Amino acid sequence: MRAIAEAVAPSAEGLPGAEEQVPVGAPMSRFMADLPPEVSRAVRLALRLFERLPFPWRFSRLSLEARQEYLAKMEGARFAPYRDLMLLGKLLAMMGWARDERVQAAAGFEARCAVAEGSPAPRSAPLGSLEPLGDGEECDVAIIGSGAGGAAAAVILAEAGLDVVVLEQGPHVGRHDYPTDPLEALPLLYRDAGMTIATGRPAIPVPVGRAVGGTTVINSGTCFRAPLGVLADWSRSAGVGWATSLDDEYEAAERMLQVTPVDTDLMGRNGQLCMEGARAIGASGGPISRNAGRCVQCSSCPVGCRIDAKRAMHVSYLPRAVAAGARVRAGVEALQVRIEDGRATGVICRAGSATSAVEAAAARNGAHPSLRSWELRARTVISAGGAFGTPELLMRSGVRNRHLGSHLHVHPAAWIGARYEQEVRGWEGIMQSYYVDEWESRRILLEATFTPLSFGGHWLPGVGPELMARIRDYGKIASIGVHLHDRSEGRVGRSANGSLRLSYRLRADETADLQFGIARAAEIHFAAGATEVYPNVGPVQVITRDRLADFEATRLKPADLRLEAFHPMSTARMSSDPGEGVTGADGSVHGVEGLYVCDAGLLPTSVGVNPMMTIIACSAHVARGLAGELC
């Protein structure tokens, strides 16, 4: 790791060098020790392969110049696995290096959150005791997962007078407890410390949250309603008749979360450049609506909102559910739904993991949690662990359905950066601020999205001095995310040792759609004044204005793309036909009484936009129907 970091980020352009001034190998070793065993093994295996790849030489024994030359060849290689391995090494090196305050100061980067002057300070209510009691508890409704779907369901059921317990495997982390160091934040707030990856060509990272509040704690706060055409398709093709009647649920969620369009005067230059470029070429779009009220500065969303301006579930829905009598239990891993005579009667768990950031830090420093068996008995069970957690849990519980874990959609996304002559300082303003929907017919959505240096530096092309020159000018970088409304599918399964196994296969025709979207993002960048664009395509590292047509004419394979994704869904999809889905139109699991799903797994197809509001709306509808049955 040290040898890779030294080559990727040497001292240059006023930036302190990796290992020379900024330790990388030691903190990354500690980070890898925090990874789940199967993830740690995979990363360490990749690093060992890296070491032996220049056979008969060892990578770490090459000179600095030879290492940089070798990495540059890997980055531009036609053989996709070389590029993937290089990108992993570059990601780890940049995470370990760019976290250092000296690096951030030299690049001018600053992470900060703020609301508009004169706005009331964001407030949050307590959640009560999060400690699981004794060896078990009882309730009317057990909800497994505290993210968008589980929290929305908890409010409705608790306010209907039902005794509700919400289980969360991760800890509760408050605004004063969010680590500024990403190597501490990732293991605290993310499943697999953010290293959840769907295998395929290309492999796609799909990070999801694991904390009280779920992924809403670490997402960008973007709030879209599902397109009407998508909802109509669900009604017609999946037999979910109520899908076209969700306006009231959307409106209630928007009020609850203080959803507000971003002020274009205050969104920051990253969003304004996207807006100006889109208008210059006549492309439709608008300011993104967010669940953050009058927030005007957010550059720490991926590691938690430090002022609670973003109304994640742990500061919005969950306090409301607790006020109505619900209980939240943190540090509880749901191992299996207890199913007796075809009916769900509770949840078999393991309790004793960290319930707070303080306890999680103690465990990271060597304190051993006292784990114990724990069971929650319930009249009804709702799985709300997300599109990964729900199929994983139901498979362990013996639920058999050929669609369970299948049909995984993720909205594959490409980060398209660009260099401008003017100062952009994308961290000043809103992280995700402006959308372009001009090419909806091609199933493409563009969103102006700026990424913090620790998570965005590796997307810039080059290694060594070339990369350092771009990092030094990070204040002149703007970026646009290209999102695909995917028909491509993947699968959630379990490996032989019981760990999560993900795969995803990007179709050739949708590779062409993504290439089209990347070209349109580049066109917008150039129209706004960019001098060069970084498409994150293996064979093409930089596009200049005069080479855009050449890029569009290049025939790309799926493995040529460098993608990430943040919206897993559809792995327990609804269908009124038991032969076509895992759940019915009422959210109940086919073949098991008293077992429901309230998360992104329900969604019959890809939504095409950020799905949080649709997860809330669908889960709320399911919960209202369930409340009517139980009360």
Contact partners, residue 287, CB within 8 Å, separation at least 6 = 261, 262, 263, 264, 267, 271, 275, 433, 434, 435
Q: Look-up: residue for tokens 């032989």?
A: 496
Distance (Å, whole) CA 381 – CA 608: 29
Single out the residue of 496, 535, 487 nearest to residue 515, CA to CA: 535
**From 411, 567, 590, 621, the catalytic residue:** 567
CA distances from 612 to 151, 156, 220, 385 (A): 12, 17, 10, 14
Position 245: which residue type?
Answer: S
Position 32: which residue type?
Answer: M
Identify each DSSP E strand in 240-321 by its residue range: 260-261, 285-287, 289-290, 295-298
Three-state DSSP at 41 gives helix
Position 122: which residue type?
Answer: P
Beta bridge pairs of residue 569: 409
Distance (Å, whole) CA 523 – CA 418: 11
Q: Is 494 exposed, middle or buried (0-12, 13-18, 19+ CB in 10 A)?
A: middle
Distance (Å, whole) CA 148 – CA 326: 16
Single out the residue of 196, 79, 203, 85 nearest to residue 504, CA to CA: 203
Distance (Å, whole) CA 169 – CA 565: 22
Distance (Å, whole) CA 13 – CA 219: 33
Distance (Å, whole) CA 95 – CA 118: 36
For 117-183, give the DSSP string. Answer: TTPPPP--------PPPTTEEEEEEEEE--SHHHHHHHHHHHHTT--EEEE-SS-B--TTT--SSHH
Contact partners, residue 66, CB within 8 Å, separation at least 6 = none
Position 246: which residue type?
Answer: L
Half-sphere exposure in the Cβ direction for 301 (13 Å, CA) = 29
Single out the residue of 536, 501, 611, 506 nearest to residue 566, CA to CA: 611
Q: Where are the alpha helices (DSSP H) in 448-594?
A: 453-456, 465-472, 508-527, 548-553
Identify each DSSP E strand in 450-600 by its residue range: 477-484, 489-494, 500-505, 530-534, 595-597
Three-state DSSP at 114 gives strand
What φ, ψ does residue 551 adopt, rounded to 5°?
Answer: -60, -45
Position 353: which residue type?
Answer: S
SS3 content of the chain, % helix, strand, coil (to 5): 40, 20, 40
Distance (Å, whole) CA 597 – CA 590: 11
Beta bridge pairs of residue 415: 481
What φ, ψ does residue 434 adopt, rounded to 5°?
Answer: -140, 140
With contact defined as beta carbons under 8 Å apart, do 424 and 273 qualify? yes
567 is catalytic: yes
Distance (Å, whole) CA 278 – CA 287: 12
CB atoms within 10 A of CB 594: 23
Residues recognised as catalytic: 567
